[in-house]
A = this chain, B = another copy of it.
């Protein structure tokens, strides 16, 4: 018997009708002879509603109790989905994280999985029972409920698939896979049939809200194939995320956009080893994430350092650098806000001559200024003005879509 883990997000389980729709996907896999484990999120806006109620109590609620509160969302879904499957005449059983158990490191709100005990689930599967597991949560060794942070149901699904040595992990969502660009913006965006874990990681951290990064990391570590597909389209084949050497056929990259980005530049920094590190130290100690970083300098001349951050962190960043306690030396701080980061992701980028050139050409043809550039083995990112992001995306997509593949 093969095992398939299926994960359904909040919009896929939002009401009773949708829960019965989920049953169709589950029973299809089950009737094909697989053991099926289903991981679900909280229904629709349930988590948001709980968090709004929590805000009435405190603007800084205790993390332990926050986890107890929000974990109820998934608990409601598992009970209902198991009931739906029972109603349809099938054996199904629901488990919270603590019942599996999914043991975590005990960090409230952003726990990491340490261990999954699969004995209970394996016994159920052997008996032909469909197992429904609450996503997003586990239990610490001390016995406290701990959640994984938003998007953590993906992590539950992939980690369970790895622990159960499943054939694959199917992530059902409201779109038919991963696209070469956001189809709501770029009309002729193409669905990507297959991509590597690294591409998926780069796309996720570049703003494509398809999969939670941690879940892709786990999938990569355990070489667990992930299929991202639509829960609403019956014939959805989705996108397969897998190892590079298992990729077949045409390989297509993707474009992602991240908005609300700001760029900060420190002018005239002392040209000493360790000066740039101080910027990171000050900001990371205050939970501010630096994304792109670039520096330019002449020999023995003062250097300039630019980096990008989320705009929500801009004020705090300027304050921290103004009042820096690390002896950071510079002459002036400048910043630009209302920027977007456009990223082109694809395995071939570094080895395919002209990809970066084509991307920059597309932007210059639209008269779009690139404020910061960063490249890696499989990604090129540029910061541009936010109000030009859509135009940039379309232009790059058009320029690079020669025939039917991007990179």
Contacts and interface: CB of A to CB of B under 8 A. Distances in A.
Contact of A83 (B54, B87, B99): B54
Interface in A178-207: none
Tell me whether chain A's interface is mostly helix, strand or loop, or mixed: helix
A405 B34 CA distance: 72
Interface residues of A, number: 34
Contacts of A84: 57-58
A65 B86 contact: yes
Contact of A16 (B53, B65, B76, B80): B53
A216 interface: no
B94 A79 contact: no
Contact of A68 (B58, B71, B75, B87): B75
B65 A79 contact: yes
Given A64-B93, A68-B78, A69-B79, 15 more contacts: A16-B56, A58-B86, A61-B83, A62-B86, A64-B82, A64-B94, A65-B79, A66-B79, A68-B79, A68-B94, A69-B76, A69-B80, A69-B83, A72-B72, A72-B79
A2 interface: no
A50 interface: yes
27 contacts: A16-B56, A16-B57, A19-B57, A53-B80, A54-B80, A54-B83, A57-B84, A58-B83, A58-B84, A58-B87, A61-B86, A61-B87, A62-B83, A65-B83, A65-B86, A65-B94, A66-B83, A68-B78, A68-B82, A68-B96, A72-B72, A72-B75, A72-B76, A72-B79, A75-B75, A99-B143, A99-B144
Interface of A: 16, 19, 50, 53-54, 56-58, 61-62, 64-66, 68-69, 71-72, 75-76, 78-80, 82-84, 86-87, 93-94, 96, 98-99, 143-144
